[in-house]
């Protein structure tokens, strides 16, 4: 079987080129139909039978979810169903997983989780409620897709069932949030959840309802009418505007080489020898429009939306295609006062549906950065615009350096580097634990939070920013180059496995949520299990699935 994950993957998609999904619209209700092309795998060596999916299927799903939010404000309910008879989805393609390198499996599961979280975010914060109309068997990741929806309907035809068969059949876990969502979201009792996850055939009908695995089961004779009724009920509850015009998510202007990725507002220089990606974000080149109507008029070109789309695409590109670039250096360039002005515009009009979507999208993209297994170092230099929403990048970084003064040999007349806090730093862009990065930075230290709050909006030079705890170090011109060089080279010398574990733990102080459990606890276990011989070895369950041979397990518990 061909090795999977050796070609560069693009995360840009368009409904006119979908191979696996269809969208249909009926007033406030959209239907997202999963009809996976068996011969449409992203890589050779497997067929996507029974609506099983790979990364390519999920890239299209992610694109559809985004477009529904931005291009279709009239849509209040989204029904996800299958275009195939008696099967909803068989989940992630097993032959794809068995043939994939470990890193590919990890990034695939991470992206899939993020897409499911985006569906939940749409239901919770966009007035666009997702209903799963499970018109056949939903196994593994197929059921996990349904679990991401707000309401699950299961056809009751004595054959359809929902199941999480990963443990008994594959020796792995339902790692796209399955274990966590059935307990934390659907409140299935722990003992019942234990039984369910060890029963490969799953449960259907009235028992699936009584165990809270689904919300409703209905016979085929009333199936279509009941879906329409439920969709109408949820649509009636939404505050999403019925008469607003959407904006088109136009194709990104992206140029990609082996050494660089460039967009109109973003550039990444890739240094394979050093294992470093140097990312520079350009601040806005003009003042913001006056109101929400001006934002609508600019559409996808509106700077906060444009930079969020570019950053989102870059994170996915580097995470998937450049796994050996273990350190990302984050820089910004521009006018910090303009960044703060754009932030104020968004916050002043956050009740507008489009403004809300932009803020929520920026939040989700920063969350994607938080869970990316790369070392993040922010460099704050003269000409930087680490202010407000862009200061979130520095707060997301594992370490930040702000130059004290200027580069005397380059531009002694330049204005010194500053950072600035704004309203975006105090709650609108929370991490996966629903706490702002600023509050996580000072976890349990309300006195420090109060001090930095008093300086909101003020440009802070390096010495004050360091004293307030907003940056890690503030070297001067003499020490800058050496300190940064040592930090980057030192990072490259450490074990990337240990770094990933350290960073993931430090980034998420504070309370735990369903989302942090999925990306932390569940993902960590799944990553470990994926790499163990019991699952991935030549006699492991993943390798032997479908061969007629039983897996051979090492019975030691470790």
pLDDT in tens, 2-55: 344 458 999 999 999 999 999 999 999 999 999 999 999 999 999 999 999 999
Q: Helix or strand or coil: residue 398?
A: coil
pLDDT band at 449 (very low <50, low <70, confident <90, very high): very high
Q: What's the pLDDT score for residue 499?
A: 95
Q: What average pLDDT is seen over the chain?
A: 95
CA–CA gap between residue 138 and residue 154 (Å, rounded): 9
pLDDT at res. 24: 97
Contact between 270 and 324 under an 8 Å Cβ cutoff? The reply is no
Please state the rounded mean pLDDT for residues 205-226: 97
> In the prediction, which pLDDT does 6 show?
58
Q: Count other Cβ atoms within 10 Å, centred on residue 449.
A: 18
Q: Where are the domains of the chain?
A: 17-237, 267-507
**Residue 87 clears pLDDT 90, i.e. is over it:** yes
pLDDT digits (tens, 9 = 90+) for 474-521: 999 999 999 999 999 999 999 999 999 999 999 989 899 999 999 999
Fold designation for 267-507 = 2-enoyl-CoA Hydratase; Chain A, domain 1 (3.90.226)
Q: Decide if pLDDT at 558 tops 80.
A: no
Residue 389: strand, helix, or coil: helix
Return the percentage of the chain with pLDDT > 70, whole number.
Answer: 99
Q: pLDDT of 161-203, one tens digit each?
A: 999 999 999 999 999 999 999 999 999 999 999 999 999 999 9
Cα torsion 339, 342, 344, 346 to 10°: value is -140
459's tokens? 């440009």
Mean pLDDT of all residues in 371-385: 97
Environment class of 268 (CB within 10 Å of its CB; exposed 0-12, middle 13-18, buried 19+): buried
* Rounded Cα–Cα distance for residues 267 and 332 (Å): 10
From CA 2, how far away is CA 147, in angstroms rounded? 32
What's the CATH fold of domain 17-237?
2-enoyl-CoA Hydratase; Chain A, domain 1 (3.90.226)
Residue 557, pLDDT > 50, answer yes
| CA 303/CA 338 separation, integer angstroms | 11
Tell me the pLDDT tens digit for each residue of 424-444: 999 999 999 999 999 999 998
Q: What is the average per-residue pLDDT within 128-153?
A: 98
The pLDDT of residue 447: 96
Same fold, 17-237 and 267-507: yes
- Sheet containing 260-263: order of strands: 255-256, 260-263, 266-271, 276-282, 327-333, 375-380, 399-402
pLDDT at 307 exceeding the cut of 50: yes
Helix, strand, or coil here: 529? helix
Q: What is the pLDDT of residue 313?
A: 98
Kind of pairing between the strands at 276-282 and 266-271? antiparallel
pLDDT of 205 over the 60 cut: yes
Closest by alpha carbon to 356, among 64, 514, 124? 124
| pLDDT at position 289 over 70 | yes
pLDDT value, residue 410: 86
Mean pLDDT of 114-137: 97
Q: Tens of pLDDT along 91-115?
A: 999 999 988 999 999 999 999 999 9
Q: What is the pLDDT of residue 513?
A: 95
Known catalytic residues are 144, 166
């Amino acid at each position: 079987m061909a090795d999977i994950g050796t070609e560069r993957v693009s995360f840009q998609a368009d409904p006119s080129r979908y191979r696996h999904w269809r969208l249909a619209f009926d007033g406030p209700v959209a239907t997202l139909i999963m009809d996976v092309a068996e011969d449409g795998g992203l890589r050779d060596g497997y067929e996507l039978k029974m609506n099983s999916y790979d990364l390519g299927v999920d890239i299209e799903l992610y694109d559809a979810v985004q477009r529904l939010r931005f291009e279709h404000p009239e849509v209040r309910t989204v029904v996800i169903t299958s275009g195939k008879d008696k099967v909803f989805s068989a989940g992630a393609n097993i032959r794809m997983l068995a043939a994939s390198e470990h890193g590919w499996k990890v990034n695939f599961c991470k992206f899939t989780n993020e897409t499911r979280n985006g569906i939940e975010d749409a239901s919770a914060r966009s007035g666009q409620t997702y209903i799963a109309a499970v018109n056949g068997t939903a196994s593994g990741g197929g059921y996990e897709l349904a679990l991401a929806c707000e309401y699950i309907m299961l056809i009751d035809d004595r054959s359809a069932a929902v199941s999480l068969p990963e443990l008994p059949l594959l020796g792995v876990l339902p790692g796209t949030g399955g274990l966590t969502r059935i307990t934390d979201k659907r409140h299935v009792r722990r003992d019942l959840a234990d039984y369910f996850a060890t029963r490969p055939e799953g449960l259907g009908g009235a028992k699936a309802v009584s165990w809270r695995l689904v919300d409703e089961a209905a016979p085929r004779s009333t199936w279509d009418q009941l879906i329409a009724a439920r969709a109408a009920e949820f649509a009636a509850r939404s505050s999403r505007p019925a008469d607003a015009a959407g904006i088109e998510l136009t194709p990104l202007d992206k140029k990609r080489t082996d050494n660089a990725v460039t967009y109109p507002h973003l550039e990444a220089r890739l240094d394979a020898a050093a294992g470093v990606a140097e990312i520079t974000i350009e601040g806005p080149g003009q003042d913001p429009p006056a109101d929400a109507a001006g934002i609508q008029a600019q559409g996808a070109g509106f700077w906060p939306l444009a930079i969020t789309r570019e950053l989102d695409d870059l994170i996915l590109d580097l995470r998937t295609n450049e796994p050996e670039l273990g350190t990302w250096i984050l820089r910004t360039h521009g006018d910090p006062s303009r960044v703060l002005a754009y932030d104020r515009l968004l916050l002043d009009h956050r009740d507008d549906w489009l403004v809300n979507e932009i803020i929520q999208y920026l939040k989700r993209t920063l969350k994607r950065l938080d869970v990316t297994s790369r070392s993040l170092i922010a460099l704050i230099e003269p000409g930087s615009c680490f202010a407000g929403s862009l200061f979130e990048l520095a707060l997301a970084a594992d370490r930040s350096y702000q130059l004290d003064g200027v580069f005397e040999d380059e531009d002694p007349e330049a204005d010194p580097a500053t950072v600035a806090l704004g309203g975006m730093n105090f709650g609108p862009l929370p991490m996966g634990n629903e706490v702002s990065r600023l509050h996580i930075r000072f976890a349990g230290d309300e006195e420090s939070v109060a001090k930095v709050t008093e300086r909101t909006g003020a440009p802070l030079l390096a010495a004050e920013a360091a004293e307030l705890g907003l940056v890690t170090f503030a070297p001067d011109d003499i020490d800058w180059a050496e300190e940064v060089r040592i930090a980057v080279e030192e990072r490259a010398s450490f074990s990337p496995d240990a770094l990933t574990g350290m960073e993931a733990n430090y980034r998420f102080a504070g309370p735990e949520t369903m989302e942090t459990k999925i990306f932390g606890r569940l993902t960590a276990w799944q990553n470990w299990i994926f790499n163990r011989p019991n699952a991935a070895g030549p006699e492991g369950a993943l390798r032997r699935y479908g061969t007629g041979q039983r897996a051979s397990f090492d019975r030691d518990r470790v």
